[in-house]
A = this chain, B = another copy of it.
């Protein structure tokens, strides 16, 4: 039996803002009978996580990060790997059988032929939608959990600022912070997002950074006595404004700098004098560093989900052809919450 597999590639390296025209849908014939002796697994992809960090792998020059596998450059014309939930349709590996639902590093494709080491885990049926394993119960959630609790060591009552606050990670950070008893302000790029943060997610305040002429003044308005914790998703001018408004011993955790990914001009120059005099810590991190607390993260997050205290915001597109626009949209602020492309239902 043979089917046609559509997948997405970059036509060439992308040095600044991604456009849909930088991508192409390719097709290949895919046989479902595995070679004798092969331990490959063929997965029908159901849900694909769309994440901004991939832009860094689409640049020709990722050399400075070459020690880190998930920062290695992609190859134009070749399949792009991403976090995916899929269903096994053929398996040469004794550990996996047909109809197993698996989470792993597969591809921006309808089907992926993968090795065992690309499969992170089997997903059993659960009380929550499978897609939660790409977001709130997956790496977005772990990024929020590790970056907030482990890096920032928050205390009840502290003042927390979150940028890209309606994004996949920021919305969870803000909710964790509220549930801990912090004062939480988020910034986002539209009035609709601001309303979501305040009305649905319980942020104390939120503002639309695109409507602010002076970011420093905007931040000061919401933090007249200063910020204890800034959870940074964006870098650039917002990071500068946050550092200018930190309290003594303030902590900045940086999980991404989306405003810098596509515009090299947009580099943050945080005030180092403030850094010294206020004893500020700025720390970069990756979710993968917190696999040791994955159990704690899951327990706490499941409790919050079961109580209905943690709201889940997903933004879905349909079909493999929608992947380029879904990805490009991340950089235009089109998504609200975790961006997922749905290829088929489980």
Taken together, the copies of this chain in the complex come to: 2
Interface 9-residue window, one of A64-72, A96-104, A183-191: A64-72
Inter-chain contact A276/B272, CB cutoff 8 Å: no
Inter-chain contact A273/B286, CB cutoff 8 Å: no
For the side of the interface on A, what is the size category? 35 or more
Inter-chain contact B272/A68, CB cutoff 8 Å: no
A275 interfacial contact with B, CB 8 Å:
yes
Proximity bits, A260-273, B CB within 8 Å = 1, else 0: 11000001110111
Inter-chain contact A261/B273, CB cutoff 8 Å: yes
- Also in contact, A286 and B282, with CB within 8 A (given A235-B272, A239-B272): no
Nearest chain-B residue to A67 (Cβ)?
B248
Inter-chain contact A277/B273, CB cutoff 8 Å: no
Inter-chain contact B67/A273, CB cutoff 8 Å: no
A228 interfacial contact with B, CB 8 Å:
no
A322 interfacial contact with B, CB 8 Å:
no
A278 interfacial contact with B, CB 8 Å:
yes
Interface 9-residue window, one of A127-135, A199-207, A249-257: A249-257
Residue from the list B248, B255, B274, B278 in contact with A276, Cβ < 8 A? B255
Residue from the list B248, B271, B283, B285 in contact with A282, Cβ < 8 A? B283
Residue from the list B235, B239, B277, B284 in contact with A278, Cβ < 8 A? B284
Q: How far, in whole Å, are A261 and B273 apart by their CA atoms in the complex?
A: 8
Tell me whether chain A's interface is mostly helix, strand or loop, or mixed.
mixed
Residues of chain B within 8 A of A254, CB atoms compared: 272, 275-276
Inter-chain contact A269/B268, CB cutoff 8 Å: yes
Which A229-256 residues have C-beta < 8 A from chain B? 235, 239, 244, 248, 254-256
Nearest chain-B residue to A239 (Cβ)?
B272
Residues of chain B within 8 A of A289, CB atoms compared: 279
Which A34-90 residues have C-beta < 8 A from chain B? 56, 64-65, 67-68, 71
Residues of chain B within 8 A of A68, CB atoms compared: 248, 277-278
A5 interfacial contact with B, CB 8 Å:
no
Inter-chain contact A65/B273, CB cutoff 8 Å: yes
Q: How far, in whole Å, are A282 and B284 apart by their CA atoms in the complex?
A: 9
Q: How far, in whole Å, are A260 and B274 apart by their CA atoms in the complex?
A: 12
A281 interfacial contact with B, CB 8 Å:
yes
Residues of chain B within 8 A of A274, CB atoms compared: 64-65, 284
- Also in contact, A277 and B244, with CB within 8 A (given A272-B235, A282-B283, A283-B282): no
What 13 additional pairs, Cβ within 8 angstroms, besides A64-B274, A267-B271, A274-B284?
A: A56-B273, A64-B273, A65-B274, A71-B277, A239-B272, A254-B275, A260-B272, A267-B272, A268-B269, A275-B282, A276-B286, A280-B283, A282-B283
Listed A/B pairs (16) with beta-carbon separation below 8 Å: A56-B277, A64-B271, A64-B274, A67-B248, A68-B248, A239-B272, A255-B276, A257-B276, A268-B269, A269-B269, A275-B282, A275-B283, A276-B285, A276-B286, A278-B284, A282-B282
